[in-house]
C-alpha cells in the first residue's frame, strides 16, 4: 500500500511538470483532491482558472473543494462564476451545490431558489426536492415542504418518508 501511494505521488508530481492546459491543471486538481492534498488541489484548480478564466469546470471543482474546507462563501462565489460562464448550459448540480452552501449559511430562501433552478434543469434531481423540502420546513412552509419531500420519496429518497411522518402528519 505504501508503495502504491509513493507511486501515485510520483505520478502526480511528474504530471505537474507537463501540465500546460487548463484541462491538465483541472485533472491535476482532481488527482490531488483524491489524495487529500487539498492545498495541491486548490493550486491546480486555481491555475486552471488563471489559464482559462472562461472554463466553468475548475470553478465548480474548486467550489466543491471549498465546501470540504467549510469555506461556504468561497464555494458560493465559485459556483456563481461557473453558472455565469455557462448561463444557458448551467448544470443542475452547480445550482444544487450552491443551494447546499447557502443552506449551511442559513440562507434558506437563497437555497430554495437554487434548488428550484436545479429542479427546473433536472426534474429528477431527488436531492434537490429533498433539500428544498427541508429548507421550506425550516421557514415554516409546511405544505410546500411536505410536497417536496413527497416528490423526493417518489423519486427514491426513502428517508423523505421518515421526515414526512415527523413533520407533515
Q: What are the domain boundaries of the chain?
A: 8-90, 95-169
Does domain 95-169 fall under CATH 3.40.50.1110? My reply is no
Identical fold for domains 8-90 and 95-169, yes or no, is yes
- The rounded distance, in Å, linking the Cα atoms of 145 and 137 is 5
CA distances, 169 to each of 85, 107, 133, 145 (Å): 43, 26, 15, 12
Phi-psi region of 106 (alpha: psi -120 to 50; beta: other; left: phi over 0): left
Is residue 87 very low, low, confident or very high in pLDDT (cuts 50, 70, 90)? confident
Give the pLDDT of residue 19. Answer: 64
Is residue 91 very low, low, confident or very high in pLDDT (cuts 50, 70, 90)? confident
pTM: 0.86
Give the rounded percent of residues in the chain with a pLDDT score beyond 70.
88
CATH of 8-90, one of 1.20.120.1200, 3.40.1710.10, 1.25.40.10, 3.20.20.80: 1.25.40.10
pLDDT in tens, 67-77: 999 999 999 99
Residue 107: how many CB atoms within 10 A of its CB?
17
pLDDT in tens, 140-166: 999 999 999 999 999 999 999 999 999
Give the pLDDT of residue 4. Answer: 41
pLDDT in tens, 15-28: 445 569 999 999 99
Across the range 93-111, mean pLDDT stands at: 98
Amino acid at each position: 500500500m505504501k508503495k502504491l501511494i509513493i507511486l501515485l505521488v510520483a505520478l502526480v508530481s511528474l504530471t505537474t511538470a507537463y501540465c500546460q492546459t487548463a484541462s491538465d491543471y483541472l485533472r491535476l486538481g482532481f488527482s490531488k483532491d483524491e489524495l487529500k492534498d487539498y492545498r495541491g488541489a486548490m493550486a491546480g484548480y486555481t491555475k486552471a482558472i488563471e489559464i482559462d478564466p472562461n472554463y466553468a469546470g475548475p470553478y465548480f471543482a474548486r467550489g466543491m473543494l471549498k465546501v470540504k474546507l467549510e469555506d461556504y462563501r468561497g464555494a458560493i462565489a465559485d459556483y456563481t462564476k461557473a453558472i455565469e460562464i455557462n448561463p444557458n448550459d448551467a448544470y443542475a448540480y452547480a445550482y444544487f451545490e450552491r443551494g447546499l452552501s447557502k443552506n449551511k449559511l442559513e440562507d434558506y430562501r437563497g437555497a430554495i431558489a437554487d434548488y428550484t433552478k436545479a429542479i427546473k434543469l433536472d426534474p429528477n434531481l431527488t436531492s434537490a426536492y429533498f433539500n428544498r423540502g427541508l429548507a421550506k420546513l425550516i421557514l415554516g412552509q409546511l405544505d410546500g415542504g411536505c410536497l417536496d419531500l413527497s416528490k423526493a420519496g417518489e423519486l427514491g429518497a426513502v428517508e423523505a418518508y421518515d421526515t414526512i411522518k415527523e413533520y407533515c402528519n
